[in-house]
Each structure stands twice: as C-alpha cells, then as structure tokens.
Structure 1
Amino acid sequence: MSTINKKLLAISALPVALAVSLPARAEVDLSAITGAFSATDVVTGVLAVGAVLAVIYVSIKAAKTVIGMIRGG
C-alpha cells in the first residue's frame, strides 16, 4: 500500500473512530439555540436579502439602459 493510501485511510478512519467513541444516546439540548429565533425571523431575513439583491440588479440594469440610450441616441 502506498504512503498516500495509508494517509488517506488514516484520515478517513478518524471521523468513524470519533463517532464510535461517542455515547449512543448523547442528549444534546438545543432549545436555547432554537428558541432564540422563530421561523418568521428567518423568512423575513431571507426576503430582505432577496429584496436588496433585486434592487441592486434593477439599478444596474436601469443604469445600463440609460447609458445605452445616451450612447445610441
């Protein structure tokens, strides 16, 4: 087996070894994280980012159109 294959095998075996070493029923409480925001906050943020990108796109398109009208007559 080449050195590269041995290193690849060792690197790929590491996550498996870590996953096996964890307890099978590790209870993780994520309520503090998931309770900090609601779905409406996320939807509002995504829509706001989309609106900003749409305004930027329309502004660039309008500027190109106006410049084209000025150049083309």
Structure 2
Amino acid sequence: MLKIKSGVRRVVSAVSLGVAAALVAPVSFAQAAGGPDYTALTTGVDFTSTIAAVLAVAALLVGLWLAVRGAKIVIGMVRGG
C-alpha cells in the first residue's frame, strides 16, 4: 500500500475545502434572497375537512385508550378486592 505524502494530503484537503465552499455558497445566497413565493398555490388549498378528520380519528383513539385503561383498572380492583 502506498503512503501519501503530507504535501499531497494538504493539497487534497485544500481542494476538498474549496469544493465544499463552492457548493455551499450558492445555497446560502439562495436563502438570503428569500426563496420563491408560493402564496398563489397555497391560498387555493383548504385543509379544514382533513384537519377535522384527523382530529376525529385522534379523539376516537383517545376514547379507545381511556376505555381500555378503565377496564384494566376495574379488572384490577375486582381481582385485588
């Protein structure tokens, strides 16, 4: 296996640092510009029915969990008492 000399290692690390900086710079400039404006697309979307459905399912799951938990407590009282 060939050993890489320290001079070559320095050149490789400097080149990789330069490439990384060149790739990161456009991203930071794009974020500084503020990005595209999607208000025309997002104003036409209405999620009220979807949110209501998700909340209904969540309420159903909470109710089921409460029923199971209550049944376990009652069974524990009957067995223990």
Larger Rg: 2
TM superposition score normalised by structure 2: 0.44
